[in-house]
């Protein structure tokens, strides 16, 4: 038994059982965490877009309220220039969102302006024509770039116009104002998020209406609006910097403007990446702890199994040796006569040679012949002793192949005299072309000895012992058939013959372990033992056939 392989399998099993679920859980938590972070970030960005959209809408409502107040003053004080200048001054310099105010007649001709020059008045007709949005009872122009001061600095602005009604509710002109849109830009820039997040305003075509944190210019640069669907939502996209970002948008009704809040996906996922790095560190530490624990536990288990295995092997060896010696005792009972004959002949020829040495008439050639014959008889006896010793001892372990025919020949050299004395005729049909069995020769020898001894014991009054070997190439198995012409095994007993301590012998004549041990040994070698028996009923010949199978492939 390969205990080192068992140790490795135990360690691998411990690692798999403990780490695979942990890794699966970590994987699930990581991706769920990533989803949760994305959802949290998108929720925050949506909220930021909604908040800023409400602020811009409130800003535009405030401008509408200013225009309503001024138009009421104009109607009440009938274009009092001094009073209008005072109110315009307060609106422009105290509340600061305005560049200029002016009044147009019904034909669009300027009739009043709080500016000393015509810088704004020269552009009024064009901007009036560009007015495209009606809301809060006034018209709002598109955002445009306005040059201010002597340095000709261009800033974003828009023009709002409010109809002026007389006492009879007839329209008598338009009050217009140019509003500084940088206030909206400044308000959005205050909402920047961490390192890479920003908020900006675009129109329905993606044109920037405010600048961005990373250099996008108002009314000059664009973003794609293909993914915008509805008034509120979010999506992942590539922004104007060619960075992957999470964008949330909110439309400002009734304007065709969208507040965009976005943040780089890399920054959003930084936290989960840090968590992932920590998880790898903790996972590695856990794997090391599990490995050490698995090594300790597997070592303890393997040592316990090894000790138990060694103990069982010793017991098995003792049982095998006992059964083998018992079988050999039976098989070698006929060797006394076989051994006595050559020894008696050797003694006889030695005595004759001794007498002839004293006889001067006998030549040396005759004496040499007598001694040579004695030597041959002694060698024959020595051969019988060697065969017995070789077959009775336990061969050294390590051999992995066994020549089945050779083992049977050696066994019958020992058992032959006993068979002759019991009037048992031996018939051998050994296939000379069979390959070696992939099995321990000692184990094969013990198995065959046991089965043949049982077959001989089954024929106390003589009979036929048939030994056959053949190779089943399809199954890659060697089949050894050991048949006797004994009385056979009854049907109600044949199912128990491989059970431990089952025997049909008289008390004290057998342990009932021989066939059980042989069966278990054969199974361990990757083979099998099968038995067919007939008791001679219904005019059939009695006898038993044991078929022992060994594989020619290495036992896994």
Query: In the chain, where are the structural domains located?
Result: 1-268, 313-551
CATH 3.30.70.2190 assigned to 313-551: no
Mean confidence (pLDDT) of the chain: 80
User: Residues 358-372: pLDDT tens digits?
Assistant: 665 666 676 677 677
- The answer to whether domain 1-268 and domain 313-551 are alike in fold is no
Cβ–Cβ under 8 Å, residues 79 and 103: yes
Cβ–Cβ under 8 Å, residues 117 and 111: no
Check residues 218 and 361 and name the one with the higher pLDDT.
218
CATH 3.30.450.20 assigned to 1-268: yes
Q: Alpha-carbon distance 229 to 48, whole Å?
A: 18
The structure's pTM equals: 0.53
Cα of first residue to Cα of last residue in the chain, in angstroms, is: 10
Q: How much is the pLDDT for 323? A: 60
Structure tokens at 457: 């014991």
Structure tokens at 227: 């993914």
Q: Alpha-carbon distance 65 to 182, whole Å?
A: 19
Q: Alpha-carbon distance 117 to 478, whole Å?
A: 119
**Residue 128 predicted with pLDDT over 50:** no
User: Residues 404-427: pLDDT tens digits?
Assistant: 998 898 888 878 877 888 889 999
User: Residues 281-308: pLDDT tens digits?
Assistant: 888 888 888 888 888 988 898 888 888 8
Cβ–Cβ under 8 Å, residues 188 and 260: no
Tally Cβ neighbours within 10 Å of residue 47.
13
Cβ–Cβ under 8 Å, residues 320 and 446: yes
């Amino acid at each position: 038994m390969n205990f080192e392989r068992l140790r490795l399998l135990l360690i691998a099993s411990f690692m798999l059982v403990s780490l695979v679920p942990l890794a699966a859980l970590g994987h699930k938590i990581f991706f769920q965490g990533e989803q949760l972070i994305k959802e949290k970030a998108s929720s925050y960005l949506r909220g930021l877009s909604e908040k800023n959209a409400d602020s811009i809408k409130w800003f535009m409502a405030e401008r509408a309220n200013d225009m309503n107040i001024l138009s009421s003053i104009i109607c009440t004080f009938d274009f009092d220039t001094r009073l209008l200048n005072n109110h315009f001054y307060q609106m422009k310099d105290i509340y600061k969102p305005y560049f200029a105010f002016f009044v147009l007649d019904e034909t669009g001709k300027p009739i009043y302006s709080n500016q000393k020059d015509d810088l704004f008045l020269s552009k009024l007709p064009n901007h009036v024509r560009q007015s495209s949005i009606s809301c809060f009872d006034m018209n709002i122009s598109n955002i445009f770039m306005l040059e201010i001061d002597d340095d000709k600095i261009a800033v974003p602005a828009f023009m709002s116009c409010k109809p002026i009604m007389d006492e009879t509710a007839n329209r008598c002109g338009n009050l217009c104002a140019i509003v500084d849109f940088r206030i909206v830009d400044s308000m959005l820039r205050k909402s920047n998020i961490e390192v890479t997040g920003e908020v900006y305003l675009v129109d329905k075509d993606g044109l920037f209406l405010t600048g961005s944190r990373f250099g996008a210019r108002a009314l000059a640069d664009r973003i794609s609006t293909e993914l915008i669907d509805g008034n509120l939502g979010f999506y992942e996209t590539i922004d104007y910097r060619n960075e992957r970002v999470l964008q949330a948008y909110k439309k400002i009704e009734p304007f065709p403007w969208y507040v965009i809040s976005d943040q780089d996906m890399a920054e959003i996922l930084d936290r989960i990446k840090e968590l992932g790095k920590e998880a790898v560190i903790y996972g590695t530490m856990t794997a090391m702890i599990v490995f050490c624990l698995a090594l300790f536990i597997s070592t303890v288990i393997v040592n316990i199994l090894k000790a138990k295995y060694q103990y069982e092997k010793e017991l098995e060896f003792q049982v095998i040796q006992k059964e083998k010696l018992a079988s050999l005792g039976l098989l070698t009972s006929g060797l006394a006569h076989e051994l006595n004959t050559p020894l008696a002949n050797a003694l006889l020829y030695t005595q004759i040679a001794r007498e002839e040495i004293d006889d001067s008439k006998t030549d040396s050639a005759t004496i040499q012949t007598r001694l040579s014959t004695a030597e041959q008889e002694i060698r024959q006896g020595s051969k019988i002793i060697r065969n017995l010793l070789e077959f009775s001892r336990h061969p050294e372990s390590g051999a992995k192949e066994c020549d089945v025919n050779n083992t049977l020949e050696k066994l019958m050299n020992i058992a032959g005299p006993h068979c002759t004395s019991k009037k048992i005729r031996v018939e051998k049909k050994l296939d000379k072309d069979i390959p070696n069995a992939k099995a321990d020769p000692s184990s094969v020898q013990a198995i065959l000895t046991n089965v043949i001894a049982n077959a001989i014991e089954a024929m106390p009054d003589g009979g036929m012992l048939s030994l056959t070997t053949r190779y089943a190439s399809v199954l890659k198995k060697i089949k050894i058939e050991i048949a006797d012409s004994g009385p056979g095994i009854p049907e109600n007993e044949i199912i128990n013959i491989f059970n431990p301590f089952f025997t049909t012998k008289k008390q004290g004549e057998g342990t009932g372990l021989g066939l059980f041990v042989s069966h278990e040994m054969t199974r361990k070698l990757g083979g099998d033992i099968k038995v067919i028996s007939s008791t001679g009923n219904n005019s059939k010949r009695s006898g038993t056939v044991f078929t022992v199978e060994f594989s020619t492939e290495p036992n896994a």
